[in-house]
Every structure is written in C-alpha cells, then in structure tokens.
Chains A and B, each alone.
Chain A
Amino acid sequence: MGRADLRPENIRDAVIRLAGNSQDGIQSAGALLARLAGRSAQEVMTYMTIPSTISGGPSIFQVRMGSGDVLSAGDEADFLVAFYQHSYEDNVEFLKEGGVLMYDSDHVQPNTEDRRFVRMGIPITGLTVEALGGTARDKGKNIFVLGLLATIFHLDAEKLKGLIRERFGGKDESIVNTALMAFQAGYGYPVGDVLTTRYQFEISTRTGARDQVTMDGNQALAYGLIAAGVRYGAGYPITPWSSIMEILRSEFPKYGGLFVQAEDELGAVSLALGFSYAGYLSVTGSAGPGISLKTEAIGWASMAEIPLLIVNVQRGGPSTGLPTNVEQSDLYQAIFGGHGDSPRVVLAASTVEDCFYIALEAARIARKYSTPVFILSDGSLATRIEAFDEPDLKTLMQEPHPDLTPRAADYFPYPIDGITHHAPPGTRMLGGKYPVVTGLEHDEMGHPTGTASLHTGMTAKRRRKLQQLAAEIPVPEVHGDAEGGETLLVGWGSTYGPIREAVDHARKAGAGVSSMHLRHLHPLPNGLDAIFRRFQRVVVVEMNDEGLYGFGQLATILRARYCDPKIRSLTKTDGLTFRIKEILEGVLK
C-alpha cells in the first residue's frame, strides 16, 4: 500500500513526544521539528526533560505544534515515539486514548493486550543501520524518526532538509550527507503498511506581519540582554543557567564587550559589579545555589546603589536538589534573600518570548533606579523551544552608554531626596571632590557615617525608589471576566501557558474562571487589591511548597500585602510543569 492510499485527516494541533535516552539526539530531532513549525508560521511549544547524569539516562522531548494559540506543551501526547522498553513503559500513560504509539520494534515489546492506542512497530534501529551502513551504527535514528514523522504528518520535507543542512553544516560534509540519508530512509518508509491515517495540519490562520523566530528561553534571555545594551557580565557554570553564559561569552565580543567565566559565584557577582561600577550595566546569573553565594555582594549593590542584572534560572531545591527539573521556589530568595533591608527589583518571565522582552525591561529599571534587578526564569523556560514574532530590533536596541560627562561641584552620588546616578571612574569632578561608592552607611557624598537619623533617611531613600517604580508598573490584565467574577487564578513565571489554557478550558465548559499573571513581583504593581475585590475566590497557582501555613511563596506575599483571606493557594513540587488537568482539578475541587 502506497502513501497516497492513506486517509488524510486534518488536525489543528498535535503533541508529539519523543522518548529515548539523552545521547540519542532526540533533542536535535525535536528542535528541528520546532524550527520547522516556526518557519511555517505555526505556533509551537516544546517541553524537554534531561537527566542530571552526565551521559545517558532516559530523556524526553515533546513538541506541540498547531495552527492556533499553543500555550502549553500539552498534557497528553497524540503521538509517542518510544526508542526503548523503558521509554515505552515510562511514557505510555501520557499517550491519549486513540493516540499513535510508534515504537522501535528492535528494542520494544509493547503490551499487546493494551488496545487503547494505534500501535505502529518499526525496526528503527535496524533500518537506520541498514540505511547508513555499518560504521554509523544506530547514530542517526533520531533523524530517521524525523523522516518518519515528516511523512506521517505531511511536513514540508524540503524545508526540513534545509534545516538539517543548517544544523549539521559547517562540520564534516559526510555528517550532513549521513543525516540526509537517514532522513530520506525514514521519509521513504512505507508507513501505510502499519498506519491507516496520515495527518495534515490545517493551514495556519496566523496573520502576523512579522516572521517568527524559534529559540529556547535561555537564548531569548541572552539576546534580550544584548538588545538591552548589556555588554559585560560574569558567571560560573550551573544547570540550567550555563547556556546563557556560554552564549554571552561568544556573543559579547562581537559587540565589543566581554563575558568572564569567574573562579566562583562570589567572583562572578563581584566582577559584574566591577563592570557596573565602571559604567557598563552588567549581568550575572546562576540557579538557586549559586544565587545564595552571591547574596552578600547583592546586598552591597543595594547599599552602594549599583545597577546590576541577576538572572536566576530556577531549578528544584534546596541545595543540589533537582538540578534538571523545574520549580518556582526561589521567589522568597529573590525578594528577601539578603542581610539587612536591601531593596531590589524582582521580575519573572512568563514565556520564551517574554525572556527576551523582560531583559529589556530589567535593564531599563536597573539604569533608571540604579538598583539590582532579579530576572527569574526556570528550567522549563530555559530548555523549551518556542516560536514567536520576530522582535522589532530597530525600535528596541539600546546602546551601552557610560556617562562620563564632567560633574559639577554640586554633584552628590547619594542625594537623600533623589535617585542615585553614579559618576563612573574616569569622570572629571569639577569641584575637585571624588566620590567613594560604599557598602557602609554613608552620607550624600558617600562618606561613611553611623548617624542614626542618616541611616533611617538613607534606608528610606533606597526603599522609596521601589515605591516610585511600583507607581509606574502597569496593572496586569485579567484574562476572562475583567469586570469580576467567581474565581481568579493568579500566576507568575512559566505557569503562564498552562494557567491560561486551563482557564480557556474551564470557561468553555461554563465555569467562571479568569486569570491574571504577574511579571513584577517586587515591587508589586499598585491596584491588585481592586482586582481581587471583584472576585469571590483568588487562587495563586505556583510550583513550590505550600509551606508551614498552607500557602505557596507568592500566595504568602499577597496575603501579607493585602491581608485578604480570600487568597488561597494551589501548589505542587513534583519537579514538572503544571498539567492543565492538575490546575482544573486543583481549582475546581
């Protein structure tokens, strides 16, 4: 039976889960699918788990592509590719009833009693070896599977081949050829022998005037920093932050800047503060454990009022915790993780696209208020690939600009009633008096003083700038019943997609559920209390523990801030992103 005989079925979106081991290159295959979707103006969202072992171990990559808004990676897969027996056993429960189970019949023996799925056994390993010849062994079976998926989902094979050439080009020519051979072998496989349906994505209704770019959250954040005019930074390797520093180490020099790999986390934040003090707003970052090490220096940045961007790509904690899983348990650390009263700004990115734009906002705030700014991301945003409208760089690009114009004799670095703007070293001081930037409590000129009234005044000065910032933050929009209603879900960070999808789902079913997502966590925007008043229930959905008193970290902060007993909490700590079902069940119970 040829392919032309297959019954085509139009689909709006599909969740494809590839399950194998981490060295099988399923991330590459998944990323190629995601990039293809991005290039075809389709919405795409991916989800990836990587084991924390150095090499080997089970790994999955899930791609959801579709023609409408794709908000989450999907609860259940429509299509599962299982490379090994354990991949089959661990993932088959994520497959939708009636979904397609494709497995490598060389390695997997599925339960033949289980009739919930369409089974499709293909000797993937054997066919790959056969196609590529003996020396390649089974390397290339990821690309073979990509070919299979291309034929089953009626994907644009020419575009995919182009992407394969881009992905593997530049290396040995034979590598590109091998990959193309593997692809062709998969693409030419007579799937009609084992499958009766062939899927076809509906033509995308997306009418965006701009092209789409496809990248992961760490890339988006790194390029956002470049757009924000950040040219200097320092870091130390830690999962899942490392890829940001790797990108910046290679990219900053192209722009005349520099990223330094420091000897440790304390050295990294100190180098970054050196860059900032020298007049270039700089970036450091880490995951929770590394941020702990940086906190003393961040306290100095609060006191000395030095602008600094601190990225925390959160993972499961405390301590080494769950290094390759996701959790939102560093919110307290970001807001309160310092000695003394040390005001700082905390923002959280909600999507991969937002990782780009949040860097611009963080840099703007850091410069305007001369303050440390935390950008919270997490392991799921860091590794997942999304397609989004290409940013309009022309209007967004910021220039790095150390301000070395000579300062007049009446210049004070720390005006008690105003906002600090430092004169970086190299600035001529026309009054002849040069400023010292310090972590000791100081007077307006930066000279140390222990005067009680001055400490009160200066503490208030440092706090007031955050209050001033709060007044200029837009009040977040309510998705659903803007005028108020039954239940309001409040989220922050990467839970944006699942919460929004859960709300859409619930509303379709007639439930009075709305949502609001916070990007500014410290300071909070003004006017949230008015929104909360319009709802009967407020449920804060977040990936952290319910704590001693039954409330997650943001829920606790909102309850403390608004003293509103209506604010409840829905939390979880399994190291995985929220599934739509979990939110619906948790909220509607």
Chain B
Amino acid sequence: MSATGLAIPEASTEREKVTKKALTADHPTWCPGCGDFAVLAAFYKVLERRQLPHENIVTLAGIGCSSRFPYFVNSHGAHFIHGRAVPLASGVSLARPDLRVFLFGGDGDGFSIGGNHLEHGARKNIRLTYVIMDNFVYGLTKKQTSPTSPVGFKSKTDPTGAIDQPVNPIKKLLAAGASFIARTHATQINHMIQMIERAMDHDGFSVIECLSECVEFYPGVFDPANPRKGGQFQVIEERKGDGTPEDEQRHDVRDEIAAYRLADVPFPGLFGVFYENDRPTKNTLEKKWIETTRAKTGGASDLELLQKTFNRMK
C-alpha cells in the first residue's frame, strides 16, 4: 500500500440517505429572486439522485455572491480567497481520489481575478466539476463592470457604459483546453440538472457556465433566453450517431472548431454541451507516474527509501 494510502474507516452499513433535508445548511444570504437559489436547488436534486457517500461530497468556492455556496450545502466545504478556488480544488482532487470535488463561483472570480488559474486547471485537465454562475456584473461589491458585462452596460465603474470587449466564456474555456464545456440557464431547472449530471460523469475538468440573474444590479438581463419572459431557450442538438442524414446537421461535441462556431452565436447564444473530450486527466497521469516510480523502489518502506538516498550521499 502506498505510504499515503488512506485508512478510511469502515462505512457503517446503515447509512442516512442524502436527502434535501440532510443537505440543507445555513439559509442563503442571496437577495430574494437571485438566480443562484435555483442552482442550489438543482445541486441538491443531483445529490439526492446520485446518493454519493455524504462525507465524500466537497463543495469549494472563492469569493463572490455565488461563492457563498459552500455555506448553504451541508457537506465538507471550504470558502477560499478571491479567484484561487481552482488550484485549491485541484489540490483536493489530486490528493484524494475518494472525494467528489464541486466548485462554485461567479464570472469575476472565474474569468477575471482567477482567469489564469482557470486556464491552467483546464489545460491540466484536473478532475472536478466547476459551476460558474455568470451574472455579467459584480454583485457582492454592488455593481461594478465584470469581465462578461456587455459593451454599454452602465455600472458604477462605467457610468457611461462599459467600453471593454467582454470575455466569451465558452471560447476561453475551449482555448484553455477544458475537456467538458456546457452552458445552461438558472431558470431552466431540468436542463441545469442534466448539465450538472453530465459534468459529474465526465472524467476531467468539467465546467458549466450558468447564466444566473442578478435581480438587484442587472435585472432582466437573461430574459432573452427565458421563454416565460418571451425569450428563446435555444438548445444545442447533439449528434446521435444514428446514421440519418439529419444527424449530420447536429453538433458533434468532439468537434472543437464547431464548438467555436456555436460559441460565436450572438447573445443570448446557445445552451447545452459545446464540447467534450476524453483526454487523460492529470489525476490519472500523475497516478501512473507515482505507480511507475514506486514500482522501481521494489516495495521499499519510506524509511528504507530515505536511508538509501542518504547512503548515496556518504
């Protein structure tokens, strides 16, 4: 057994079911009507369906309204610093394959202050699921321009309207090498659940951009994608591989170039899975390296290994 092998206590046979009640923690501090409530409800629903061992669920976050998420889920969790939740979560994921790592955050946390970490977490393909609740505005600090705010958006830092070109989250994620990229909308609960489940089942760095309205500082911004507000929720039709001619017209989620084209559809854009790729995770590659390295040691104990190194320095 590896030196760092975990001595996980025997699971007792009678387990409490992971119910919504068992998952509910502090009452959310979000404003009434905030889109994030629906994301939390969808997450509870997914956990209820999946019945993961309760102690193995880990919710992590950086800073922002949406990053308060871990307080509202009764599971192991950590509320970290602004923008650095991806590397924190990477550490948890790489050291503990027994855990299910869920990461929650907003557009500022993910695309602005944490932009570099997002790129490298995606590039390294670290096994975790990251839900970015995108509201196009800084809410916790009360209405400043965010990296996804559209040109012309009037905020406290751009009183005459934003002038900088916003980030296109899907294109950024594609370029960075994220191996599962989806987009959903907080008003579409079933679609959200479906996307979170697909992300969870993906072995790699899975990211969901979830449009989640800030009712306080950017009300109505996502109505164009909400059928109940007269908008259109346009879902990507994925290729089924049924050999029919119409299937050729559907989106192949492995086609990166096609994914870029779909990501270019003007606001409110498309929803669903843009891209999925089964390339090996850093978790797997590092594990393989650890196993190969350890195989060469001939089963020596930690003490024997270090002693051998010191013998070479005599």
Residues of A near any B CB (own CB < 8 A): 35, 38-39, 166, 211-215, 219, 223, 226-227, 231-232, 234, 251, 253-258, 260, 262-264, 266-268, 270-280, 282, 296-297, 299-300, 304, 390-391, 393-394, 397, 399-400, 402, 404-406, 423-429, 432-440, 447-448
A274 with B90, Cβ < 8 A, contacts A257-B4, A399-B302, A425-B99 known: yes
State whether A435 touches B3 (Cβ < 8 A).
no
Q: Mark B293-314, 1 if CB is under 8 A from A, else 0.
A: 1101100001101110110111
* Interface of B: prevailing SS: helix
Interface core residue of B8, B71, B87, B296 (most chain A CB under 10 Å): B87
* Interface of A: prevailing SS: mixed
Q: Which residues of B contact A426 (CB under 8 A)?
A: 6, 8, 55-56, 76, 96, 98-99
A213 with B314, Cβ < 8 A, contacts A278-B95, A428-B9 known: yes
> Does B120 have its Cβ within 8 Å of any Cβ on chain A?
yes
30 residue pairs of the A-B complex, CB under 8 angstroms, read A35-B313, A213-B314, A215-B313, A226-B302, A254-B305, A255-B302, A267-B117, A270-B80, A270-B85, A270-B88, A271-B94, A273-B80, A273-B88, A274-B87, A275-B92, A275-B94, A277-B91, A278-B91, A280-B4, A300-B80, A300-B81, A393-B310, A397-B306, A423-B76, A425-B55, A426-B96, A434-B54, A434-B74, A438-B71, A438-B79
State whether B80 touches A439 (Cβ < 8 A).
yes
> Does B26 have its Cβ within 8 Å of any Cβ on chain A?
yes
A296 with B81, Cβ < 8 A, contacts A277-B92, A278-B95 known: yes
> Does B58 have its Cβ within 8 Å of any Cβ on chain A?
yes
Q: A306–B6 Cα gap in the complex (Å)?
A: 19
Q: How far is the CB of A246 from chain B (nearest CB, A)?
A: 14
State whether B116 touches A267 (Cβ < 8 A).
yes
Q: Please give me the residue from chain A that is nearest to B78 by CB atom.
A: A437
Q: A422–B71 Cα gap in the complex (Å)?
A: 17
> Does B106 have its Cβ within 8 Å of any Cβ on chain A?
no
Q: A434–B309 Cα gap in the complex (Å)?
A: 42
Which residues of B (267-304) have their CB < 8 Å from a CB of A? 286, 289-290, 293-294, 296-297, 302-303
State whether B84 touches A266 (Cβ < 8 A).
yes
> Does B112 have its Cβ within 8 Å of any Cβ on chain A?
no
Q: How far is the CB of A243 from chain B (nearest CB, A)?
A: 15
State whether A270 touches B70 (Cβ < 8 A).
no
State whether B120 touches A267 (Cβ < 8 A).
yes
Q: A202–B314 Cα gap in the complex (Å)?
A: 21
State whether A253 touches B290 (Cβ < 8 A).
yes
Q: Please give me the residue from chain B that is nearest to A296 by CB atom.
A: B81
Q: How far is the CB of A393 from chain B (nearest CB, A)?
A: 5
A263 with B92, Cβ < 8 A, contacts A280-B4, A405-B9 known: no
State whether B306 touches A226 (Cβ < 8 A).
yes
Q: Please give me the residue from chain B that is nearest to A282 by CB atom.
A: B91
Q: Which residues of A contact B70 (CB under 8 A)?
A: 436
Q: Which residues of A contact B75 (CB under 8 A)?
A: 434
A227 with B78, Cβ < 8 A, contacts A266-B84, A271-B90, A436-B71 known: no
State whether A255 touches B305 (Cβ < 8 A).
yes
Q: Which residues of A contact B76 (CB under 8 A)?
A: 423-427, 434-436
State whether B55 touches A427 (Cβ < 8 A).
yes
> Does B77 have its Cβ within 8 Å of any Cβ on chain A?
yes
Q: Which residues of B contact A400 (CB under 8 A)?
A: 3-4
A397 with B302, Cβ < 8 A, contacts A434-B76, A437-B79 known: yes
Q: A148–B90 Cα gap in the complex (Å)?
A: 53
Q: Please give me the residue from chain B that is nearest to A402 by CB atom.
A: B6
Q: A274–B4 Cα gap in the complex (Å)?
A: 16
Q: Please give me the residue from chain A that is nearest to B119 by CB atom.
A: A263
> Does B16 have its Cβ within 8 Å of any Cβ on chain A?
yes
A214 with B313, Cβ < 8 A, contacts A227-B306, A400-B4, A425-B58 known: yes
Q: How far is the CB of B28 from chain A (nearest CB, A)?
A: 12
Q: A263–B76 Cα gap in the complex (Å)?
A: 26
Q: A399–B80 Cα gap in the complex (Å)?
A: 28
Q: A394–B302 Cα gap in the complex (Å)?
A: 10
Interface core residue of B79, B83, B297, B302 (most chain A CB under 10 Å): B302
Q: How far is the CB of B44 from chain A (nearest CB, A)?
A: 14
> Does B175 have its Cβ within 8 Å of any Cβ on chain A?
no
> Does B89 have its Cβ within 8 Å of any Cβ on chain A?
yes
Q: A296–B113 Cα gap in the complex (Å)?
A: 13
Which of B8, B79, B87 contacts A440, CB < 8 Å?
A: B79
Q: Mark B116-155, 1 if CB is under 8 A from A, else 0.
A: 1101100000000000000000000000000000000000
Q: A435–B77 Cα gap in the complex (Å)?
A: 7
> Does B22 have its Cβ within 8 Å of any Cβ on chain A?
yes
Q: Which residues of B contact A263 (CB under 8 A)?
A: 87, 116-117, 119-120
Q: Please give me the residue from chain A that is nearest to B297 by CB atom.
A: A254
State whether B99 touches A257 (Cβ < 8 A).
no
Q: A434–B99 Cα gap in the complex (Å)?
A: 14
Q: Which residues of B contact A429 (CB under 8 A)?
A: 55
6 interchain residue pairs of minimum CB distance? A274-B91, A256-B2, A270-B87, A425-B76, A263-B120, A253-B293
Q: How far is the CB of B223 from chain A (nearest CB, A)?
A: 32
A262 with B87, Cβ < 8 A, contacts A404-B9, A436-B78 known: yes
Q: Please give me the residue from chain A that is nearest to B83 by CB atom.
A: A266
Q: Which residues of A contact B314 (CB under 8 A)?
A: 38-39, 211-214, 390
> Does B5 have its Cβ within 8 Å of any Cβ on chain A?
yes
Q: How far is the CB of B297 from chain A (nearest CB, A)?
A: 6
Which residues of B (62-80) have their CB < 8 Å from a CB of A? 70-71, 74-80
Q: Which residues of B contact A433 (CB under 8 A)?
A: 74
State whether A256 touches B95 (Cβ < 8 A).
no
Q: Which residues of B contact A300 (CB under 8 A)?
A: 80-81
State whether B55 touches A428 (Cβ < 8 A).
yes
State whether B92 touches A425 (Cβ < 8 A).
yes
Which of B6, B74, B87, B95 contacts A267, CB < 8 Å?
A: B87
Q: A234–B307 Cα gap in the complex (Å)?
A: 24
Q: Which residues of B contact A227 (CB under 8 A)?
A: 306
Q: How far is the CB of B254 from chain A (nearest CB, A)?
A: 26
Interface core residue of B7, B56, B99, B310 (most chain A CB under 10 Å): B310
Q: Please give me the residue from chain B that is nearest to A448 by CB atom.
A: B71
Q: How far is the CB of B6 from chain A (nearest CB, A)?
A: 6
Q: A276–B8 Cα gap in the complex (Å)?
A: 17
Q: A278–B91 Cα gap in the complex (Å)?
A: 8
Q: Which residues of B contact A215 (CB under 8 A)?
A: 313
Q: Which residues of A contact B56 (CB under 8 A)?
A: 425-426
Q: How far is the CB of A495 from chain B (nearest CB, A)?
A: 25
Q: Which residues of B contact A38 (CB under 8 A)?
A: 313-314
Which of B95, B117, B313 contacts A258, CB < 8 Å?
A: B95
State whether B79 touches A393 (Cβ < 8 A).
no
Q: Which residues of B contact A264 (CB under 8 A)?
A: 116
Q: Which residues of B contact A223 (CB under 8 A)?
A: 306, 309-310
Q: A166–B83 Cα gap in the complex (Å)?
A: 47
Q: How far is the CB of B173 from chain A (nearest CB, A)?
A: 16
Q: A296–B80 Cα gap in the complex (Å)?
A: 10
Which of B78, B85, B309 contacts A438, CB < 8 Å?
A: B78
Q: Which residues of A contact B77 (CB under 8 A)?
A: 434-437
Q: Which residues of A contact B25 (CB under 8 A)?
A: 434, 436
Q: How far is the CB of A312 from chain B (nearest CB, A)?
A: 20
Q: A267–B117 Cα gap in the complex (Å)?
A: 7
Q: Which residues of A contact B88 (CB under 8 A)?
A: 270-271, 273-274, 277
Q: A211–B265 Cα gap in the complex (Å)?
A: 71
A279 with B96, Cβ < 8 A, contacts A231-B3, A263-B120, A394-B303 known: yes
Interface core residue of B4, B5, B8 (most chain A CB under 10 Å): B4
State whether B55 touches A278 (Cβ < 8 A).
no
Q: Mark B1-39, 1 if CB is under 8 A from A, else 0.
A: 011111111010000100000100110000000000000
Q: A339–B6 Cα gap in the complex (Å)?
A: 35
State whether B306 touches A297 (Cβ < 8 A).
no
Q: Which residues of B contact A402 (CB under 8 A)?
A: 6
Which of B79, B286, B307, B313 contacts A436, CB < 8 Å?
A: B79
